[in-house]
Homo-oligomer: A and B are copies of this chain.
Amino acid sequence: MELAEFFPIWNKLTPEQQNRLTQGARYQHVKKGTVVHNGSMDCAGLFLIGSGQLRAYILSEEGREVTIYRLFERDVCLLSASCIMRSIQFDITIEAEKDSALWVIPADVYRQLMDESAPIANFTNEIMASRFSDAMWLIEQIMWKSFDKRLAEFLIDEAALEKTKVLKITHEIIANHLGSAREVVTRMLRYFQGEGLVKLTRGTVEILDEKGLESIKDS
């Protein structure tokens, strides 16, 4: 993958601007589990995801987590460069969920391009609008969707993402994604197991009845 592929507005940049982006970018590999951006502690820059999978989450004072969105190949991560925008007043943590490879555009290089180029500024706008939409979706979920529906949806999405019905995932990790407590997840998974929807073993959740989960999700 080339850098230009991340920017639909690449051709609206001058050759000099394209060059500045290319020269500024560092390509790096990160191991699964690495925290690549940590709240307001750093301002690593813009991440362009070449391969792998990352998740962006927020953390409560008590250490509880909730996933706000995930990043896949071809995604651009703006909030890792949150210092470039004064009005971003929240802290987000970004962690590699799988071994990943990404380009990092330093915050100062990107900020300068935004200041001089309307196409780059508007591209940035669209990325932010898209993450904002993810956050609004999450609000609707947590306000109005019961936990059984959210868990059913999470299991279905996870199976699609991992291309397997046998999910290697702990109840703790599921709780961290959904912003819930481990006990609540365990209780609901056991209920699902009782209904014949899943089978639980240590460290795995096997989906036995995907249609059943779908009907809970859509009920």
A residues within 8 Å of B by Cβ? 58, 60-62, 64, 66, 68, 85-90, 114-118, 120-122, 124-133, 135-140, 142-144, 179
Contact = CB atoms under 8 A, between A and B. Distances in A.
Prevailing SS type, chain A contact patch: helix
B60 A137 contact: no
A218 to B, nearest CB: 13
Given A118-B118, A122-B115, A133 B66 contact: no
Contacts of A120: 118
A136 B133 contact: no
6 contacts: A87-B129, A125-B128, A132-B132, A135-B135, A138-B139, A143-B179
A129 to B, nearest CB: 4
B88 A129 contact: yes
A136 B87 contact: no
A176 to B, nearest CB: 12
A62 B144 CA distance: 9
A9 to B, nearest CB: 11
A121 B116 CA distance: 10
B66 A132 contact: no
Contacts of A121: 118, 121-122, 125
A86 B58 CA distance: 26
A170 B179 CA distance: 31
Contacts of A60: 140, 143-144
A16 B120 CA distance: 23
